[in-house]
A and B are shown apart, each in its own frame.
Chain A
Amino acid sequence: GAVVSQHPSRVICKSGTSVKIECRSLDFQATTMFWYRQFPKKSLMLMATSNEGSKATYEQGVEKDKFLINHASLTLSTLTVTSAHPEDSSFYICSALAGDNTGELFFGEGSRLTVL
């Protein structure tokens, strides 16, 4: 099956710094990727839809200036958490939509962000 890779898997940063998380589709091209945030023992919260070559579409309540998304190529989307605060600490997951129009999503392994 298709593989989506996220990097880094874990990152610890100081409050006020920015952190970039990468999401790559390794063996297929993904025009659409999604970014989620997962709270402990809770569901996935869709943050934004990332479309290659255009601006990301953010869900209601998600600060676009806080969570910068760039989808510059068909295999890479990045999420940058700017001026991170402890409340931004979370598990961030990306997924890529299969190109065969089946609607199947392939998920990355997730990135654990801890802001001190």
Chain B
Amino acid sequence: AQRVTQPEKLLSVFKGAPVELKCNYSYSGSPELFWYVQYSRQRLQLLLRHISRESIKGFTADLNKGETSFHLKKPFAQEEDSAMYYCALRYKLVFGAGTILRVKS
């Protein structure tokens, strides 16, 4: 069965602090993982995907097959990063429950 777990419903950090949004997955095949973001009053949009190994808006995520994780990281949080973040697994794009990131000034 495919499953995506985001253990934190809400993550609150101060501006400038490091951020790590956790994501663990369960999938028997070769996983393709994504992070989607939903800013206030906007539609969901792709933030990054593991196959491209890119950094978007300062965020990175590394697929760790041993730990079945795809955590999203940013060294210095900014207020504009406040949003809802979803980790998603490709097959039918199974979504995690989402984590609200709140960056306080």
Q: Which residue from B34, B43, B95, B98 sits with its C-beta under 8 Å from A46?
A: B95
Number of interface residues of A (CB under 8 A): 16
B90 touches A46 (CB 8 A): no
Query: Which listed residue (B51, B88, B97) contacts A42, Cβ 8 A?
Result: B97
Q: Is there an interface contact between B93 and A34, defined as CB atoms closer than 8 Å?
A: yes
Within the assembled complex, what's the spacing in Å between the Cα atoms of A43 and B94? 11
**What would 30 A/B residue contacts be, using CB atoms closer than 8 Å?**
A34-B92, A34-B93, A42-B98, A43-B86, A43-B95, A43-B96, A43-B97, A43-B98, A44-B44, A44-B86, A44-B98, A46-B92, A46-B93, A46-B95, A95-B44, A95-B93, A102-B49, A102-B51, A103-B32, A103-B34, A103-B49, A103-B90, A103-B93, A104-B46, A105-B34, A105-B46, A105-B88, A107-B43, A107-B44, A110-B43
